[in-house]
Amino acid sequence: MASNTSEFSFETDMSFDISTAKEAPTGDNEVNLKLYSFLSLFEKIGISKVDEEYVIVENPSAGTWESLFETARMVRDLDVHKEAGREMARVCPSVFVRLAQHLKGGLLFPNLRDVSIVDLNSSTHYLPLLASPVLESVLLAVDPESGSVDKTIRLSTYAFLGDLFTFAPNLQSLVIKNVVGMSPLWLDKIAHFHHLQALTLSSLDVKSFENLHPLGSLTNLQDLSLVFQYQEYEQLALSDRYLSLPSLKYLHIVGPFDVMVDFIRVIKQNDLEKLNFECTHQPSPRSKKVKGLKSTLAVRRQEKFALSLRNDFLSLLSFLWAHSLKEVTILSTVLQVWELARLAPLRILEKLHIEGSLILDIEQTIRPPSALWHCLRSLHLPANFTVSFCFIQQIAESTPFLNVISLFMDVTKDPGIGHIQALFHPLESLTILHGGIKTNPGPGNHEAYDDISWLRLMKVARYLNALFPNLRQLDAMVQKREWDRVWELVKLCRDSLADEKGRKQVQVKAVS
């Protein structure tokens, strides 16, 4: 089936281009429109701006209304950005009343498949118009810069969920962000979308993991992202029942560390492939006696408790998904300490991304032979761990399939080129997050400085080329000029090798 896609959006002059969509959708000539603002539609009925408010100045004819509805029937995608949403808030409510009257109970967008509204603050009054029987994806968000969430926004969004269940029972993706105060009642409504495959909810306000059990009815759910509110965290009451999500492949949890630990204990899923958790607060002491003490001993007990809890968490997820977990992302806004050896059972791990944490045993864990790293294809190491030349060689020898790596690299020491073993390693992308590359011979000696710097750059380039002959991309977050020079020198090393391979013997012709 041939399909044409046209886009039109609101601009300050309310320009509207529908030249490619004059006919309604028909079989082989289906036209798909992407709408950025209702104002483009309302222009067809003569809407005008009067005293900073959009109103209908003249009474539109029946044919004019039908032209609007004909265009609306071709809209497949509604994507309202913040600026367009704020301009939409200036539309007089009477315009929507007139629109509803002429719809006579029908649907404005019967073929709408995707909805994205990033600023609910100015959009709640027209949410009911977005119901469509073929709706597949909905994203509703509150602009975090708008401050506190108005009660009306929360109630209107909650009511819209009911409309969605009535008109769009086959919804596959639902994202609701920054609607503070999402109570368990929201989960009860969401539980009716049995075809849902992806769900993202932020600002969850639940008191017990028992409140999450309605999600167990989402048997087709493959992607789940939950952001828990932080309220002077008290441990959520654990449930006596498991939360069964048989189709889940990707789990993303944001919140206090305790929530993550308890969620992993509650969930029942045997084949999880991707796990992403972002820790926003330190673990809470489970003992009130320890919590109230201020002595050094009490602090040490808390630290020991926190480390034990974190390591138990890693051991638990390794035990649960040793044969399925392929990606692990650990992000933290507060310093965490981990023992990486706890992840050793993850024999098919392909991606490991750690940021904002301290790893105690990374050098011992990565030392070859190490089963943890054998299948790894992408690695991001935390900022507080600096990789030396010697260690990057260990990484190369322990990760035979590594394709992408990001790290903090220390190249201030001589790489010792004479002792390096050249490898056939598949690494293609290297990102230097931080790393000193200059050697200062002393003040005022710029010529010596340049000589030493270039010598250092050449050694770094030769070292990287010896380890990673397939490198295609070298990015640096710091000292970009120096690393750009390293990259040019790496390519020069390869050109020299190509020259050597193509060298031919000069034939000396006898003089007759």
pLDDT at 30: 59
Q: How many residues does the chain have?
A: 512
pLDDT at 174: 97
Lookup: tokens for 157: 């969004």
Half-sphere exposure of 16 (CA within 13 A, CB side): 19
Exposed e or buried b per residue across 103-126, where buried means at least 16 C-beta atoms within 10 angstroms of its C-beta: eeeebbbebbbbbebbbbbbbbeb
Distance CA 453, CA 122 (A): 57
Residue ranges of the chain with per-residue pLDDT less than 50? 1-3, 5-29, 232-233, 286-305, 307, 439, 441-442, 445-449
DSSP 3-state assignment of 352?
strand
Distance CA 82, CA 376 (A): 40
Residue type, 4: N
Burial class (CB in 10 A: 0-12, 13-18, 19+), 252: middle
Residues sharing a CB contact under 8 Å with residue 193, sequence separation 6 or more, in sequence order: 164, 165, 169, 171, 174, 218
pLDDT at 308: 57
Lookup: tokens for 103: 């719809």
pTM for the whole thing? 0.81
Distance CA 461, CA 483 (A): 9
pLDDT at 17: 36
The radius of gyration of the chain's CA atoms, rounded to the nearest angstrom, is 30
pLDDT at 507: 75
